[in-house]
Amino acid sequence: MGNTASGHLNWPGLIEAYRSYLPVSDSTPVVTLQEGNTPLIPAPAIAKRIGRGVRVLVKYDGLNPTGSFKDRGMTMAISKAKEAGAKAVICASTGNTSASAAAYARRGGMRAFVLIPDGYVALGKLAQALLYGAEVLAIQGNFDQALGIVREMASNYPVTLVNSVNPYRLEGQKTAAFELVDSLGDAPDWLCIPVGNAGNITAYWMGFCQYHQDRKCDRLPVMMGFQAAGASPLVTGEVVTHPETIATAIRIGNPASWEKAIAVQQASQGKFNSVTDAEILEAYRLLASEEGIFCEPASAASVAGLLKVKDQVPTGATVVCVLTGNGLKDPDTAIQHSNNQFKQGIEPTISAVATAMGLNE
Ligand SMILES: *Cc1c(COP(=O)(O)O)cnc(C)c1O
């Protein structure tokens, strides 16, 4: 597979592409939207800010079918739920899991129940969950509370849990690491990744380790996890009871994969760092206005983090930043925090437009 033209045109979705690495059999009904095979795009403007021959690329997982990396895990979780005969799935979500669960569950002919923190889900994500036909339940609490509830629900009612505590989610998500190695010919030196519930950092590491064991790559990356300063339990070592950040996708105070993420950090000799909302927004604008890449605020945490610790990057290293979600998910933040403005109320004439353009001096 990888990045050949024919591989691209015939991409069958990640379960078929990486079948031998995934817990599926011939009797698994594959529910797919042809997720995966997302672009790995050079980011020269970011690299220039670091210098010293460092190469920076972004893995733009916001180009998955529902606009986030959650689709990688969801194709697996929903296929396995269907195989087991499930009629309904449930999840707690900061938004993207709900959109993805809704799309894949409906495609697989199942009901999707999603619990979201009332008032803290970006507009595009809510729109998706509704239109896909999820049964959306907004609770007056945060993500951590919602996750606690759905975990109980799944053990007491006939609904399958599809949060990343479902092991099939991580199995699907690890394929992003395979794609990086297939594209680069080896693992990157550093992987920079936003961390919320800590499933994705765990999944990437699983993928790199499996490929390394199979000698598909010679090295393993240093895993650099970045959290928002107002929701950084892995940095401080303490549960955050009231997490706060503009990056709602990582507004999580008690990550479900906490121990696994610490194990990844230690095994890879990586680090957890936090970035402020201001730093996240700076990277968000930089990615859009200098690289032409529109990601959501949580995703920009990986680039904000890289720039924050840029002096620690080894000279000449290859660094991949994971852009977990699409910028179109959260138009409110884009409009509120753009440094740009548009000119309104212009008369519909050539001279008025030319004047507005500054051409009629
Ligand atoms: C879910 C999500 C994250 C966090 O991933 P975890 O596996 O929870 O650490 C980051 N960014 C976006 C856009 C997400 O949807």
Average predicted confidence (pLDDT) for the chain: 96
User: Which residues, including other chains, have CB under 8 Å from residue 43's CB and lie 6 or more apart?
Assistant: 56, 57, 58, 287, 291, 293, 303, 321
* Ligand 1 centre distance from Cα of residue 359 (Å): 45
Query: In this predicted structure, what is the pLDDT of residue 8?
Result: 57
Cα(193) to ligand 1 centroid in Å equals 9
Which of 96, 114, 165, 254 best tests ligand 1's pocket when mutated (most atoms within 8 Å of CB)? 96
How many angstroms does the Cα of residue 199 sit away from the middle of ligand 1?
8
Cα separation, 96 vs 280, in Å, equals: 19
pLDDT above 90: residue 73: yes
Contact present, 47 and 54 (Cβ < 8 Å): yes
Q: What type of residue is 231?
A: A
- For residue 69, is pLDDT > 90? yes
- Residues touching ligand 1 (Cβ under 6 Å) are 68, 70, 96, 164, 194-200, 249-250, 296, 298-299, 324-325
Res 9: pLDDT: 73
Q: How far is the CA of 70 from the centre of ligand 1 (A)?
A: 8
To the nearest 10 degrees (0 to 180), the angle between helices 199-213 and 258-268 is 40
Q: What is the pLDDT of residues 239-292, one digit of tens each?
A: 999 999 999 999 999 999 999 999 999 999 999 999 999 999 999 999 999 999
* Atom in ligand 1 nearest the alpha carbon of residue 195: 9
* Cα(155) to centroid(ligand 1), Å: 24
Residue 1 has pLDDT above 90, yes or no: no
Distance (Å) from CA 292 to ligand 1 centroid: 22
- If one residue of 197, 202, 280, 287 were mutated to test the ligand 1 pocket, choosing by the most ligand atoms within 8 A of its CB, it would be 197
Per-residue confidence (pLDDT) for residue 311, from 0 to 100: 98
* Ligand 1 centroid to residue 11 C-alpha, Å: 24
Of all atoms in ligand 1, which is nearest to the CA of residue 298? 11
Ligand 1 center to residue 10 CA distance, Å? 28
250, 260, 280, 299: which to mutate for ligand 1, most atoms within 8 A of CB? 250
* CA 347 – ligand 1 centroid, Å: 44
User: What pLDDT score does 7 carry?
Assistant: 53
pLDDT tens, position by position, 91-110: 999 999 999 999 999 999 99
Ligand 1 atom 14: the closest Cα is on which residue? Answer: 249
Q: Best mutation site among 126, 200, 265 for ligand 1, i.e. most ligand atoms within 8 A of its Cβ?
A: 200
- Say whether pLDDT at 116 is over 50: yes
Q: How close is the Cα of 289 to the center of ligand 1, in Å?
A: 23
| Ligand 1 binding pocket mutation candidate from 324, 328, 329, 330 (most atoms within 8 A of CB) | 324
Residue 361 predicted with pLDDT over 80 = no
- The b-or-e profile of 95-122 (16+ CB within 10 A means b, else e) is bbbbbbbbbbbbbbebbbbbbbbeebbb
- Closest atom of ligand 1 to CA, residue 196: 9
DSSP state of 314: P
Q: What does the pLDDT look like over 120-136, one tens digit per residue?
A: 999 999 999 999 999 99
Cβ neighbours of 170 (radius 10 Å): 24
Q: Is the pLDDT of residue 3 over 50?
A: no
Cβ neighbours for 191, distance < 8 A, ≥ 6 positions apart: 180, 204, 208, 221, 222, 223, 224, 319, 320, 322
CA of 194 from ligand 1 middle (Å) equals: 7
pLDDT higher than 60, residue 318: yes
Q: Determine contact, residues 257/198, Cβ cutoff 8 Å.
A: yes
